Structure 1
Amino acid sequence: MKPIKYFLIAILVLTFTAPMHGQEKSYYMPRFAVKTNALYWATTTANLGFEVGLGKAWTLDVSGNYNPWKFSDHKQIKHWMVQPELRYWLCERFYGHFFGLHAHYADFNVSNLNVFGLGHHRYQGNLYGAGISYGYQWILNKRWSMEATVGVGYARINYDKYNCGHCGSKLNSGHKNYFGPTKVGINIIYVIK
């Protein structure tokens, strides 16, 4: 087996055998939360997420991102993305450690970034895939929380490559299989009871 398969099996075993501390508590747990990722805002990407409780230790998180902007020198990171995630909380939902299984889909149109080997070309296409994540959520007060999360996984990237960011003819089409970070976030959360 490949190392990634061992890692996935370990996550599944941990998810279903981890002790469920605090599950016997009788107080009311939050059912719904609205969130935004501060790291995405740093890249001028508007984003909003919703998370709903499915059980004492399970939630479903769905986030969406949108970036329609063009910058000087025809630089752009235009895209939209949706990323649903099923989460298992080791303590109770909306507090403490969690593990997640997420999927993602995005359409993109990026140009003139000159990072990661992209050069001054324009790339347009889509990506899809899945991954696993880990995170931790801190309760700040009755309604506000903060969360840090990171995920790794796979993405299939299909693209058309163009000569330059503003103009130019299509150079070629291609695809790439990507393994690596697929999720990162510092989320500010408003909890709805």
Structure 2
Amino acid sequence: MKKLRLIFIFLLACCAISEMQAQKVAVKSNLLYDATATFNLGVELGLARKWTLDVPVNVNPWKFSDGMRLRHWGIQPEVRYWFCERFRRTFIGLHAHYADFNVGSLPNWSFISKNMQQNRYEGHLYGAGISIGHAWILKRRWGIEATLGLGYARIVYDKYPCAVCGTRLKSGNRDYFGPTKVGISLIYLIK
């Protein structure tokens, strides 16, 4: 049985290596993250003629002078199936996500809850979802991609009364179903 397993792994590796010689690679930046001063970089690797693996990472290390916090780091790998060919036109994807966060004292905007304006939350989240997107070619190596995903996230957090207070009000967790991915990304294709 062990020999059979080793032969199977060897054959898989040979197939992957032969496919990698013809693979394309893209690097990208999500412009929506850029708008929140979040550093982000994604790498997308061609796996097969219509399959890719997208691995975006984002980090926001900033503390703002008014006490607002939007500190986080996250990763959201996604396997994509392209209906035309990879990196062109429409795709569907299956993604997972993990993030650590420390957010609170957010601005008094109509779409931000009073809880997020008056308290600080520190913790992590994890989950998975499905997405759909489309890529437009601008020039030979440049493109724009739009994507939207829906899914599940388990959020585990500690709640604090303000951005700098150390007294924990409560610990909790929450199950979230809804949008889990949104992006408008600038893409550079590496051949």
The TM-score normalised by the length of structure 1 is 0.83
Question: Residue in 1 aligned with 2:169?
Answer: 171
Q: How does 1:12-91 map to 2 (within 5 A)?
A: 31-91=24-84
Q: Does 1:181 align with 2:174?
A: no
Choose 74-83 or 107-116, whichever is displaced more.
107-116
Q: Deviations over 1:39-68 (max 9, x none)?
A: 001011110000000111000000000000
Distance (Å, rounded) in 1 between the aligned partners of 2:87 and 2:35: 25
* Match 1:143 to one of 130, 141, 144: 141
Aligned length: 165
- CA pair 35-64 structure 1, distance change in 2 beyond 3 A: same
Deviation at 1:168, TM superposition (A): 4.1
Q: Is the 8 A contact 2:23 2:47 kept in 1?
A: no
> Please, what is the CA RMSD of the aligned residues?
1.2
Q: 2:124, 2:59 → 1: CA distance?
A: 14
CA distance in 2 between partners of 1:138 and 1:64 (Å): 22
Q: d(CA) in 2 for partners of 1:140 and 1:59?
A: 20
Structure-1 residue corresponding to 2:123: 125
Higher radius of gyration, 1 or 2: 2
Shift of 1:30: 6.1
Question: Runs of at least 4 residues of structure 1 off by over 6 A?
Answer: none
Between the aligned partners of 2:133 and 2:24, the Cα distance in structure 1 is: 19
Match of 2:156 in 1: 158
Kindly state the Cα deviation for residue 148 of structure 1 after the two structures are TM-superposed: 0.5
- The 8 Å contact of residues 30 and 94 in structure 1, kept in 2 or not, is answered as no
Deviation of residue 70 (structure 1)? 1.1
TM-score when normalising by structure 2: 0.84
Question: For 1:112-158, what per-residue CA distance to the aligned partner results, in whole angstroms no more than 9, with x for missing partners?
Answer: 01523323111100000000000000111111111000001000000
Unaligned runs of 5+ in 1: 1-28
Matches of 2:53 and 2:96, distance apart in 1: 12
The one-letter amino acid of 1:31's match is K
Flag structure 2 segments of 5+ consecutive residues without an equivalent.
1-21
- Residue type of the alignment partner of 1:43: T
Please tell me the residue identity of whatever aligns with 1:145: G
Q: Which amino acid aligns with 1:135?
A: G
